[in-house]
Structure 1
Amino acid sequence: MDPNHPESELCTLLGQMNLATESYPAEPEVIMVDDTSCDSDASSDPGFMTPELRYNGCAYLQALRAQLDSYPTTGGEYLEAIFTHREILSSYPGAHQLCAQGFSDLAYALEQRAWRADREADTEAVVAFRHEAWMIASTLIYRPASPSADTIKEFTVVCSQGA
């Protein structure tokens, strides 16, 4: 077999890969919401700002969710989003602990939005996002590194290959 053949190059690259478990310090997620029933001078202060609600998932899925109102699905943009996320996920799986929930949330949000001509493929996108959520949830297995789950989280990537 030719050593410059793409399959040989791919086998060589895969043979050089090192798979290891990633550890990182967990960041507590804080969600703050304005309480309109509270009479506070802080809300009238122009310098006072309340953080926005965070969506589930990595930064990529959060950005996608934030732009969902103007997100068309007719051209297959949802497939590009899924494949882009897969590339990001494969580079650092430990940062994607909430991405299965993020894809489920995206699917639900697409189901709830009003129909428009540029959103004809919303039902296909819902099915694709739910499938991707299921795939991520079955691929990433969460295991706490220590009894104190708020300090360190570890993730293992599970690959199902024929024996």
Structure 2
Amino acid sequence: MLLPWLCITLGIAFGSAVVPFVSIELFVIGLATQQPQISCLLLGAAVAVGQVGGKLLYYYAGRGSIHLPAFLHRRPRPLTARRARWELRTKRLRAWVETVRAKCEEHPHWMLGTYSVSSVVGLPPYMATVVLAGLVRMRLSTFIGAGLVGRFIRFSLLAASPALFAGWFL
């Protein structure tokens, strides 16, 4: 009865990596609470593989290897006063993102450190660091290795302590 649960976990982890509205954390806590015979290490490994596998889509999109479908592309619209104000407001944010990208390209160890910490802690948001890793062209082996280790640590600890976290959510 162990293998079906691990396969379901892998699938849900992949889905939660692609669709960020699905909470894999709640699933892991619930599964660890209801199925205590499943090892927290096996559960952490299944989630790590699913999460990194799903995030590879975002990594490749950040690299420019995957092209988004036409309906997701912005259509050119006439510049209205409201739109001009919005672009002016977001100009500083776009400049900041470009500065961070340039710094990460200059110092690849910073990107590795940021991505590694994010994969364990979730701050800065893991989704953002995945896309940024693609933008700065982090080596694929580094991306997968650091992501697997970080996600394994995060979800193994989460699966090991369901009683602690169950009180927060239930």
TM-score range, shorter chain: 0.3 to 0.5
TM-score, normalised with respect to structure 2: 0.33
TM-score, normalised with respect to structure 1: 0.34
Query: Structure 1 or 2: larger helix share?
Result: 2
Query: Structure 1 or 2: larger strand share?
Result: 1
Q: Looking at both structures, which has the greater relative contact order when contacts are Cα pairs under 8 Å and sequence separation is at least 6?
A: 2
